Amino acid sequence: MARGRLRIYLGAAPGVGKTYAMLAEAHRRTGRGTDVVIGFVEDHGRDRTAELIEGLELVPRRELTHRGALFGELDLDAVLRRRPAVALVDELAHTNVPGSRNAKRWQDVEELLAAGIDVVSTVNIQHLESLGDVVEGITGVRQRETVPDEVVRRADQIELVDMSPQALRRRLAHGNVYPPERIDASLANWFRAGNLTALRELALLWTADRVDEYLQRYRAEHGIEGTWQARERIVVGLTGGPEGATLVRRAARIADRASGGELLAVHIARSDGLTGESGSPQTLIEQRALTESLGGSFHTVLGDEPAAALLDFARGVNATQIVLGSSRRRAWQYLYGPGVGATVTRGSGDIDVHTVTHEQVAKGRGRVPLRKVTDLGRTRTVLGWLIGVGGPPLLTLLLTQVHGLGLSTDMLLFLCLTVCAALVGGLFPAMASALVSSSALNYYFAPPLHTFTISEPQNILAVAIFTAVGIAVASVVDLAARRTQQAARGQAEAQSLSALAGTVLRGAPGAGGDGLLAALLDQVRETFQQDSAALLERADDHAPWQAAAARGPHPPARPEDGDVDVPVGEHLALVLRGRVLPAADRRLLGAYAAQGAALLERRRLAGEAAAARREAEGNRIRTALLAAVSHDLRTPLAGIKAAVSSLRADDVEWSPEDEAELLAGIETGADRLDHLINNLLDMSRLQTGTVAPLIRDTDLDEVVPYALGGVPPGSVRLDVPETLAMVRADGGLLERALANLVENAVKYSSDVLVRAAAIDRPGADRQVELRIVDRGPGVPEHAKERIFAPFQRHGDAPRGAGVGLGLAVARGFVEAMGGTLAAEDTPGGGLTMVVVLPAAVPEPPADRKAEPV
């Protein structure tokens, strides 16, 4: 059975009209006679969307009960039994109610596709799993419902549904997205113009990358090598010389002028995978860092011919322009050939080539291309054999026309020819030249002529010496060539190791262990021309292999799955897949493997160091607790002691009013002492990680009044609706957190308001928000986070006002329950503490007001 096709409407933000577009497409297909049914669609209470549902066959939802509420979900079995040609399934990232066959709706879609049913679905850009951290950084909301990127990437069609931020905000203000009571909050939070612009850019960039993948795949499938200038890609060729920084900056300026331009820097390496070009390894490291800082990417391309390798790379990435530096060769060095710049220009075809001048023009290369002497290619080998075999007959023909030079002169000329063959073609062409030349000398120039006999003994010795000298010269030249190759390879290995060290050092300041391992494996793949690489480890000889890090498509899961594996110890191995490496390269690969093991150990040590830091922080907190006990608890104890001693004194007769005042002082001191001790103990529990909340459905009407027990009556106003949804929280911890927040507010304001309301943020589960609003002096923006640190008192708070733990304890308790606590300015002056907790029972999907599609 053929797999069904998946079409996804990708929304740049909530409310842009994904569901509307999906339903419009369903009507178009129905009009063409296609069998279309609605498996699951949310109209979110929008009349225009509901109108489009009419006229389409609707598969009844499956009803499930969860925590006393009734939910409607996609009835997967019913759709499979119905077997339509096309099924509409809204909200691909939705999490199914417990009791469903699959945990996520995209898994339901996978079953429909496997059954041969085409599916049309919707998803917003913020629900892509890889963008979770980015979206949270933009909006401040963590997406709880996500879909793996790979699920969306595999879609046969992805259509972006987009709208300008201004137009979307107008839609929201006109009531086309949310009901009136939610408009103001939405405009002030999720639907800010900056948020929408950033989400729109994310959607456009993600879609552009997918389009580029499709384009590359199409070009590969159809064998298209020409450049399609759909997007400006500027490739800058680097030799490792000092001019590279100038070229990178020039290419970056070209890319910046082209909207959406992409910068790619490329360095050519030998085909055996080791860098063999001239240039300082440190310079290459600096140029890689410069390229990445300018938003480009750095690549190492393999190939013996730099010009051909550069052109192959440029065509492979569909480059539109190539940036090269003017040649550093001196005039005489052009005897080796036309140069990379001229060769690239001649073979570039429809790719524009920019030649950039620089300070190193015509000042000579750091090393004359020794590869032309040591790395003998097919051209030089053929030329050497032509000289060694064809040269002696031609020289013989020439010398037979010129008489009187003498045997010694003839021998020297033939010896020059043999040396030339050795220099060009190496040992074997030179040996052939020596043998052919000695035979020609014997037959044509050593008396008696035209015979292979020699009458004079000195001529026999001369021919023998000539043959020996020719072979010796050829051997010396070949030995020198091999030594040069070994030296070049040693330099290449040193440069590769230097690049390895540079890769690690570049990632060291900000990257974690995973980032460093990924950079190392990318370096291995580039250096040794491999498709994928994995660092595998296992606990013992019988345990299965686990990938500590992997890069590239289809990385090996076991050492036997790869083409190359280098063991590091007994239970760690670096495994490569792509091609088998020669033995000479394995020595260098062992260095990479050892570095990978070191990075793994570093990651483990970093984890241990983090644990040690937590332990040290706990010790610091305990030390601070002791300091607090020694000072801040002494005042209430001294007051209680003095009041009790006064009451017990036999020589003083206290009036009823005085006794009441002393007793009130004792009670106040005891309450203060109890409050301080509770905060100290709570902070100790938080710092040591021993807080284990008992999360359950909690009614705020039962918790908030108890939290006000420590403040003067009438100092706090409550606005907690009776119909407000319950929250998922630990009642005791929530009461303690709210008590600390309210008591802190009462210290600075005589008018404190505690307000609670339900909020529905797009892309997140339903939540309840508690606001503790005061009209005090407020807190500057730069100090809003510092006030939540332990042992912090803001401003000129008196020493006796506490140990500075109230807000720290409150935030710790709220976060332990899965909520958030933040400080905001009160409009008109003052400070507002905002507590956000998950609602206990979300609204049923059929009626919920989540996000527009």
Question: Exposed, middle or buried, 546 (CB in 10 Å: 0-12/13-18/19+)?
Answer: exposed
pLDDT of residue 40: 92
Q: 21: how many CB neighbours lie within 10 A of its CB?
A: 18
CA–CA distance, 133 with 802 (Å, rounded to integer): 37
Confidence of residue 846 (pLDDT cuts 50, 70, 90): very low
| Each residue's pLDDT tens digit, 730-775 | 887 888 888 888 888 888 888 899 999 888 765 567 888 899 999 8
Q: 127: left (phi > 0), else alpha (psi -120 to 50), else beta? A: alpha
Token pair recorded at residue 598? 């070191």
Q: How many CB atoms lie within 10 A of CB 400?
A: 12
Least confident interval from 360-369, 382-391, 464-473, 530-539: 360-369
- pLDDT, position 274: 43
| Number of helices followed by number of strands (H, E) in the chain | 26, 24
Provide the percentage of residues in the chain whose pLDDT is more than 90. 8
Strand pairing category for 157-161 and 118-124: unpaired
Distance CA 784, CA 794 (A): 10
Q: Which of 850, 652, 621, 831 is nearest to 127 (CA)?
A: 850
* Chain segment 481-529, per-residue pLDDT in tens: 666 666 665 656 565 555 555 555 554 433 444 567 777 787 788 777 7
pLDDT of amino acid 224:
62
- Model confidence at 439: pLDDT above 50: yes
Per-residue pLDDT of 616-675, as tens digits, reads 766 665 665 555 555 456 667 777 888 888 877 777 777 888 788 888 888 877 876 776
Lowest mean pLDDT across 44-48, 66-70, 176-180, 683-687: 683-687
First-last CA distance in the chain: 32
| Stronger pLDDT, 224 or 235, i.e. the higher one | 235
What is the tens place of the pLDDT at every residue in 567-579? 776 678 888 888 7
Confirm if 203 and 138 have CB atoms less than 8 A apart. no
Q: How far is CA 612 from CA 387, 488, 608, 620, 623, in A?
A: 73, 47, 6, 12, 16
| Average pLDDT, integer, range 98-121 | 91
Checking if the pLDDT of 160 tops 50, the result is: yes
**What is the mean predicted confidence (pLDDT) over 681-699?**
69
Provide Rg for the chain, Cα atoms.
40
How buried is residue 650: exposed, middle or buried, by Cβ count under 10 Å (0-12/13-18/19+)? Answer: exposed
Residues 374-409: pLDDT tens digits? 445 567 778 888 887 888 888 888 887 776 677 778
Q: What are phi and psi of 143, to 5 degrees?
A: -75, 120
Distance, in Å, from the CA atom of 287 to the CA atom of 284, rounded to the nearest integer, reads 5
pLDDT at 7 > cutoff 90? yes
* pLDDT(71) > 60: yes
